[in-house]
């Protein structure tokens, strides 16, 4: 008796399962054949470098199907192939709209001569003609270089300078050149503290040297050295240590 009851329960469960599967199949067929076209595509987000014609081309090629059958993942992948697109989201809005949110890369600098760096410390490839600071180092360290770029630039801004190049060597030693040609060797340890100390004395150093500074070396524990170019050319290079 018990076996027959258990068998009846399994049979009823199988019947219900088949009914549900059949209903899902019928609903899917109805949605595929439903006449619910996408009548409006809304492009959102701020972008300067993404070509509107490229957006329209991708939209025309990949927005295939109706409101229910359009493949959102394929559409998203197609937009992500555009050089300046960092991220993209595509979603439906009832009853006939498709909303595309575009996040554009915000360029921060050049990664050697191989690409560009955005404000998140990510490397991407795109054409850009304007002058930019140049980042040098291992690709795995690009985020660390980006973070230091912001910190260092904030300090240099006190003397109206900015980074021209920033380098993190294989030995994790930092070096920069400013946009006015000043080379600063930062070293490995406490580079922010040392740079702040130098910038606070920058005007005094310029006054004392009375020469064009070739480079500044901050790798000293209790001071820094300054190498200057002697305009008289009798001694082309002089190095002075300031403690």
Give the three-state DSSP class for 192: helix
Pick the CATH number of 40-104 from 2.40.128.130, 3.60.15.10, 3.10.20.310, 3.40.50.300: 3.10.20.310
pLDDT at site 26: 54
pLDDT at 153: 97
For residue 41, the SS3 value is strand
Give the Cα separation of 175 and 56 in Å (integer): 45
Judge whether residue 106 has pLDDT over 80.
Answer: yes
User: Residue 2's pLDDT is what?
Assistant: 46
Among 86, 90, 85, 52, which Cα is nearest to 74's?
90
Task: For 47-94, give the DSSP string.
Answer: -SSS-HHHHHHHHHHH--S-TTT--HHHHHHHHHTSTTEEEEEEEEET
pLDDT of res. 167: 98
pTM of the prediction?
A: 0.78
Most confident of 56-65, 71-80, 161-170: 161-170
- Top-tier CATH class for 107-242: alpha beta
Domain extents in the chain: 1-33, 40-104, 107-242
Query: What is the Cβ-side half-sphere exposure of residue 192, based on CA atoms within 13 angstroms?
Result: 9
> Sorting pLDDT into bands at 50, 70 and 90, what band is 143?
very high
- pLDDT of 19 strictly over 80: no
Decide whether 40-104 matches 107-242 in CATH topology: no
Q: Is the pLDDT of residue 30 over 60?
A: no
Span 93-120, average pLDDT: 94
């Amino acid at each position: 008796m018990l076996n027959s009851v258990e068998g009846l329960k399994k049979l009823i469960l199988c019947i219900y399962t088949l009914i549900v599967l059949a209903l899902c199949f019928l609903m899917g067929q109805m949605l595929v054949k439903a006449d619910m076209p996408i009548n409006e595509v809304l492009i959102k987000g701020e972008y300067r470098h993404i070509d509107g014609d490229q957006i329209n081309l991708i939209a025309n090629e990949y927005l295939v199907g109706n409101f229910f059958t359009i493949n959102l993942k394929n559409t998203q992948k197609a937009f992500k192939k555009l050089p300046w697109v960092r991220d993209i989201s595509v979603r439906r809005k009832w009853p006939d709209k498709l909303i595309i949110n575009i996040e554009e890369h915000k360029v921060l600098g050049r990664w050697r001569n191989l690409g560009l760096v955005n404000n998140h410390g990510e490397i991407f490839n795109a054409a850009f003609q304007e002058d930019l600071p140049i980042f040098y180092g291992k690709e795995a360290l690009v985020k660390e270089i980006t973070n230091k770029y912001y910190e260092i630039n904030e300090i240099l801004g006190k003397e109206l300078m900015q980074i021209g190049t920033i380098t993190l060597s294989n030995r994790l030693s930092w070096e920069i050149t400013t946009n006015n040609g000043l080379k600063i060797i930062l070293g490995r340890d406490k580079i922010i503290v040392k740079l702040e100390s130098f910038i606070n004395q920058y005007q005094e150093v310029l006054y004392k040297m009375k020469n064009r500074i070739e480079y500044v070396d901050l790798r000293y524990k209790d001071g820094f050295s300054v190498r200057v170019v002697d305009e008289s050319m009798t001694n082309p290079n002089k190095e002075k240590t300031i403690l």
